[in-house]
Chain A
Amino acid sequence: MKIRTFVIFLLMAGTGCGLALAGSFSEDFQNANGLYRAGKFSEAIVLYEKLADHYPAQGEIYFNLGNACFRSGKMGASILAYEQAKFLNPRDRDTRHNLAHVRGLLEYRIKDKRNWYIQFGEKLLGYFTVNEVLLGFLFLYGLFMASWILTLFFRRGLEWGWIIQSLLSMAIFSGALYGAKHIQTHVIREAIVTVKDAEIHYGPSDSDLVALRLGEGLKVYVIDHRDSWSRVWLTNGEGGWMANNQISGVRPKMK
C-alpha cells in the first residue's frame, strides 16, 4: 500500500514539474515574441538565446532568434540561427526561405566546386534530421527482419523472396544514408563565420600566413581541432586553420 502511494506521489510530482516547466517555457517564448513585435530586437535576442540554452531541440526558438538577429543587422548570427533551425526542422519552408534571403544579401559567396553527386547528396540529406534517417533505417531493418522471420513459418505457402530482397536493399540504402548523415553532422561539422573579417591561416597560429579572408555568414566545414583552432574546409576546395572564436558550429549543443 505504501509503495503504491509513493509511486502515485512520484507520478503526480513529475507531471506537475513537467507542466510547470512547460508553462514557464511557453511564457518565456511568448515574452520574447512580444519583445520582437515591439521592435526590441536586442532584448528579444537575449531571451531567445536563454531559451535556446534550456531547450536546444526547439527549432522555432532558433528561427525567431535568426529573425531578431537579422533585424539587428547581425547577419552572421542570423545565418547561424537559421542553420540551427534548419538542422532541427529541415523541411520548414519559412526557415529555408529566410536563410536563402539572408544569404542572398551577403557580400561574398564561396563557389561550390564539389562533385555534383556530393552536392546532391548533401542537399538530399539536408531534408532529414539524423534521428529521422535513423528511424527510417530501423523501421526498414525491422520490417526486413520481421519478413524474414515470417518466411521461416510460411516458407512453403508463400513466395516472399523478392519482398525480402527489396526490403534488404532499402534497409542497406537507408543504413548508408544514416552513415552519411552521421558523418555530415558528427565528423565533418558545419560552422558559420560569425565575425565580419575572419581569417584562414595556413597553420593553427596567428604567426602562420593568412591564406584567405572570409566574410560574415559564410559556411565552412570543420574537420579537425587543435587547442583554440579549427581546421576548416571550404566548398571551393580551399582550406586552412581558423580561430575558434571566429566560427560557431551549426549543430545545437544538446544537454
Chain B
Amino acid sequence: MKKPFFLILIIAWTLLNSNSMAMAARVAADLDKTTARVQEEIHLTIRVLDFQGNVQAPRVQGIDGFDIFYTGRASHLTFINGTSSSSVEFNYVLVPQKTGTFLIHPIDIQAGGQNFRTEPINVEILPGAQAPSQSQNPPNSSSWRPPQQVLNSQRAPLYPPVTQAPATQNQAPPQSEPGPSVRPEDDNIYAIAKVNKTLAYPNEQILLTYSLYTRYDTRYEGFQEEPEVSGFWIEEFPMDQNVPKENVFVNGKRYIKADVKKYALFPTSPADYTIKPGTLKASIRRDPQRNSVFDEFFDDSFFSGGNFFARREDLILKPPPIRLQIKPFPEQNKPKSFVGAVGNFRLSSSVDKTTLKQDEPVTMTLVIEGEGNIETLNKPPIPNLEGFRTYDADAKHQLFRTGDQIGGRKTFEIVFIPTKAGRMVIPSLEFSYFNPSIQQYATLRTQETTLNVEKSDQIFTLPAQLGQNENLKKDVEVEKRDIRYIQEKISKTGSPERTTLMLAVLGVIDIGLTIFLLLNYLTQKRTEIFSRNVALKRRTQAKSRAEKRLKKLISMMHRGDHGNEGLYFDEIEKILTQYLTDKFNLSTLGITRMDLEKKLEEILGPQDPFYQELMSLYSWCDISRFAKAAVSQEERNKAQLILKEAIYRLEKIR
C-alpha cells in the first residue's frame, strides 16, 4: 500500500513544483571585480529578480579576510519590449584585509517564505600597492568601524588593531546616560535598544538604535539572535565605515558608547507592539585592573580589536524589549485619495510629447520623492478617462538616507493612448499623504496636460512595447447577465440505454470473475486439505472414482463387447476392491480377499443379506475368471446392481 501512496505524493509534489517553478524568483550575487588589492573596495550586489513582494536584506555572514558594510538597497520594476521584470538589489562594500584567494560562500535570502541561495564567488586579493589605505587608517587612528560579521573570537580581527586610542576628536564631552534597565551581572558592559518614538502612526518611520556601553577592550561581533519585528516593514541603515563613539557617564561610571546598529521600522497597521530586540554578541579582553577604583586610568581601547594574540572572552548582551503603540490615522480631513502614504513628499510629472497622432502612445512620468517609506507608495489613482486608453508601463524606486531618515524617489510611468483626435486633456492626478510631524494630511496634484492629437486613419493596435504583456491587457467583462439559450439538439453521447447496456455487461463480467476466483479459492483449499489428509482424500473420492470406472465398464459393454465376460467381472472386482480400500483407507497392494471379507463382516455384520450378496458377487467374479463359465446377462446386471448398492450403502457409513 506504500507504493501508491508514494506515487500520489510524487505526482502532487511534481504538480506543486511545476506551479511554483513557473513563477519562481531568481537570486544572483555579483562582484564588480574579482581581483583587488588589500584595502581596495569591492562592491557586492545581491539581486532578487522576478519577485513581487517584500524582501528583507540578507544577512551577509562574516567573510574571512574582509570587512563588510551594507550600503543600501534599490528596486526596479521595468517593462521592456512588452516584458515586465522586477528586481531588488542589496549592495555591500567588501574591504579586503589580507592577500590570498577567498571564496565568498553562498548567501541565504528569504523571499516570500522561500529560501534562496546565491552561487559561491571566488575573489583574489593582491598585496596593496604602497599601503595607501594604511595611511588613511593608521593603527592609532581614533576612527572605528564595526566588524559586524565576526563569528568567533578565535578569528583574526578584520581591521587593523587600534589599541590604546584615547577618546576621539569627534566624540562629545562625557555625558550622563541612562543605565541598562535590566542590570547584567557585569555592569561594565551592556547593550540598549531604543526607539526615537513609542507612539506613531502606521507607515511612520521609527528609528531603532542599538547602543553598546562598555568599559572593556571590546569588539562588537553582530547579532547572536535576530530581532523579532513582525508587523513592521524594516529597512536596515547602512552603517558608516567609521562609527563615532563617545565617552558617557552612567551611574557615576565612565563608559564608551557606540551606536552599532540602526533600523528604520515602518509599522504596517495600528496596534500595540512589543519588539524583541534579539541578542548582540561582543568579545572583550577582561582586565581586572579596569574594574578597580582607578577608573580615571581607564582607556577606551576596547573598540579597537585589541591585541591579535590576546585571549578574548565572548559575551551575549540582551537589550530589554520595547513597547510601541501605533495609533490609527485621524478620520478628520482624510482625503479620498489617501491610501496610507506617510512622510513628507513632493510630486512632479512630465510627458514625453504633447503633439501626437490618434492611437499613438504618450508616456507620463510621475515622480514622488521625499522622506518616508518610498517602497510602499502607490501610484496616484487614474480616473476612467473618456477618449484615452491607459496602461501602467514602469515603476521603479530608489532609497536614500538623510541623517537618520529614510527617504527616496519613486517613479511611475503611465502610457496614455488618445482614441480621439483634437485637443485632449489628461486631468490633474492627485496624491495624498499624512505628514506625522504636523499631524495633518496633505494633497499634491499634477498639472493638467493638454495634448494636440492629430487624426489618424490607422486601426488601433496595442503598441509593440505593451502588446506582449499579458498583465497590461484589459479583461473582457460581462455587461449583463441572463440564462443561456435552449438546447436544440439531443445529445447522443452518454445515452441512458448505452449506459445501462455497459452496466449489464460489466456486471456480468464482474460476477463471472468473482465466481471464478471463489471456485479457484475453494479448489486450492481442498487440495491443501487433501495434501494434509490422504485418508480423507481417498474416502471422499472413492465414490466418484468407482462410479467413473463403472460407467466406463457399462459403456464398454454397450458397445457390444459381450464375449469378454471374464474381463467384465475382473473389472467389477477391481472396482469393488478399489472402492473398499479407498473408503476404509486400506492398502491396495497388500490387501487380500480375507481382509476385505473381514472388514465387510465387521461393518455390515455376517447376517446382513447385503453382506451375503457382496460375497456372492465375489464368487461370480471368481467363477467367471477362473472357471471361464458363462455368466448370463441377467447375472451381469445383478452384479452391477450389487456394486451400485454397495457404494450407496457404504457411502452412508461414516
Contact = CB atoms under 8 A, between A and B. Distances in A.
A166 B11 CA distance: 15
A165 B4 contact: yes
Contacts of A26: 490
Contact of B483 (A29, A70, A145, A148): A70
A63 B513 contact: no
A174 interface: no
A169 B4 CA distance: 9
Interface residues of B, number: 31
A131 B499 contact: yes
B517 interface: yes
B112 to A, nearest CB: 27
Interface in B100-142: none
Interface stretch (B51-59, B271-279, B501-509, B543-551): B501-509
B1 interface: yes
Interface residues of A, number: 39
Interface in A31-90: 33, 36, 57-58, 60, 63-64, 66-68, 70, 89
Interface stretch (A95-103, A191-199, A213-221, A236-244): A95-103
Given A36-B486, A98-B483, A145-B513, A165 B1 contact: yes
A149 B488 CA distance: 48
Interface string A113-141: 00000000000000001011011001101
A94 B499 contact: no
A60 B491 contact: yes
Nearest to A102: B483
A215 to B, nearest CB: 19
Contacts of A132: 499
A97 B484 contact: yes
Contacts of B489: 60
Nearest to A58: B490
B261 to A, nearest CB: 47
A6 interface: no
Contacts, number: 79
B-side binding surface: helix, strand, loop or mixed?
helix
A7 interface: no
A255 B491 CA distance: 20
B523 to A, nearest CB: 11
Interface in B463-502: 481-491, 494-496, 499-500, 502
B193 to A, nearest CB: 45
Interface string A153-180: 0000000001001100100000000000
A141 B517 CA distance: 13
B510 interface: yes
B4 A142 contact: no
A58 B497 CA distance: 11
A146 interface: yes
A1 interface: no
Contact of A63 (B487, B506, B514): B487
B520 interface: yes
B503 A131 contact: yes
Contacts of A68: 486
Contact of B516 (A60, A97, A135, A149): A149
B484 A94 contact: yes
B506 A145 contact: no
Contacts of A29: 490
B654 interface: no
Contacts of A102: 483
A152 interface: yes
B3 interface: yes
Contacts of A135: 499, 502-503, 506
Contacts of A66: 483
A97 B485 CA distance: 11
Contact of B496 (A30, A57, A145, A152): A57
Contacts of A145: 510, 513-514, 517
B496 to A, nearest CB: 4
A78 to B, nearest CB: 8
A149 B4 contact: no
A135 B500 CA distance: 9
B4 A64 contact: no
B500 A139 contact: no
B503 A67 contact: no
B612 to A, nearest CB: 52
A148 B513 CA distance: 10
A142 B496 contact: no
Given A131-B503, A135-B499, A64 B482 contact: no
Contact of A142 (B481, B490, B510): B510
Given A138-B506, A162-B1, 14 more contacts: A57-B495, A66-B483, A67-B486, A94-B484, A97-B484, A102-B483, A135-B502, A135-B503, A135-B506, A141-B510, A148-B517, A149-B517, A162-B4, A166-B4
11 contacts: A25-B490, A29-B490, A36-B486, A60-B490, A63-B486, A64-B487, A132-B499, A142-B509, A145-B510, A152-B520, A166-B7
Interface of A: 25-26, 29-30, 33, 36, 57-58, 60, 63-64, 66-68, 70, 89, 94, 97-98, 101-102, 129, 131-132, 134-135, 138-139, 141-142, 145-146, 148-149, 152, 162, 165-166, 169
